[in-house]
Amino acid sequence: MRILIIEDNRDIAANLGDFLSDRGHEVDYAYDGVTGLHLAIVNEFDAIVLDLSLPGMDGLEVCRKLREDVRKETPVLMLTARDQLDDKLAGFQSGADDYLVKPFELKEVDARLEVLARRGIRIKPRELKVADLEFNLETLTVRREGKRIDLNPIGLKLLEKLMSSSPAVVTRRDLEHHVWGEELPDSDSLRVHIHSLRAAIDKPFGSPLIHTRHGIGYCLAGPDEVSSAS
């Protein structure tokens, strides 16, 4: 699994990260809420370990923004020293999937993350929708304004990544990795395929959905969401 640890206590983060790495997981770190939210938005993780008390933005706000503002469904395990029922309920209401009180056993964290990651796979949405664009993930049917759009396999992969991340910006690296894995193409391939995707998704219609963030990557967002993706 690829796991993001958002924890301001660097000793706790290091101990947890070392344990998870030894179990074969890939671990990234953030030590404040703002950085953690940014990493969670622009990258794809199988699970997030989120501390409640964070500088810059607390864990409740990070989780709420992740769920409500950018509609990311990455499973979240919230860690906190607060053990009152109201604290736990606040965590779940913000969008957390599980809650673990400090101090905790490292093996239990790993076990809970495995369960959350499996659950995240099972609840993967069957259809993506952004503005008037719809993508049925079971039939691989794409429609805009009710009109069917035919895409090649690479176009479908790019569209799935952009729509599932909408309205967040997806980096060039993440798009290339999503489509081609570790065997990355030449530097112009992504640009060419994005151009073809735009020709199919945007050109025949009134307003563009695919937007370039120069030096960073691309986002797919409706007219009302473009500024929030900047």
Identify the pLDDT of residue 210: 96
Is residue 4 within 8 A of residue 36, CB to CB? The reply is yes
Domain locations along the chain: 2-122, 127-229
Identify the pLDDT of residue 139: 84
Residues 26-37 pLDDT 10s: 999 999 999 999
Residues 190-211 pLDDT 10s: 999 999 999 999 999 989 999 9
**Residue 93: pLDDT over 90:** no
Identify the residue with better confidence: 63 or 102.
Answer: 63
**Residue 22: pLDDT over 50:** yes
Is residue 158 within 8 A of residue 212, CB to CB? The reply is no
Identify the pLDDT of residue 227: 53
Please provide the average confidence, as pLDDT, over all residues in the chain. Answer: 87
Structure tokens given for 107 = 């093996």
DSSP string, 194-206: HHHHHHHHTTTSS
Distances (CA, A) of 31 to 34, 35, 38, 78, 152: 9, 7, 12, 15, 41
Please give the CATH architecture assigned to the domain spanning 2-122.
3-Layer(aba) Sandwich (3.40)
Q: Domain 127-229 is in which class?
A: mainly alpha
Is residue 153 within 8 A of residue 180, CB to CB? The reply is no
> CB-based burial of residue 177 (10 Å sphere; 0-12 exposed, 13-18 middle, 19+ buried)?
middle
Name the strand (E) or helix (H) holding 147. Answer: strand 147-149
Residues 152-202 pLDDT 10s: 999 999 999 999 889 999 999 899 988 888 777 777 899 999 999 999 999
Between CA 32 and CA 37 the distance in angstroms is: 9
Identify the pLDDT of residue 226: 62
**Residue 230: pLDDT over 60:** no
Mean pLDDT of 5-15: 94
Residues 217-228 pLDDT 10s: 999 998 877 654
Task: Read off φ and ψ for residue 44, nearest 5 degrees.
Answer: -105, 120
- Taking each continuous run of H as one helix and of E as one strand, the counts in the chain are 9, 12
Mean pLDDT of 54-77: 88
Residues 96-142 pLDDT 10s: 888 888 888 899 999 999 888 877 654 555 788 899 999 988 788 99
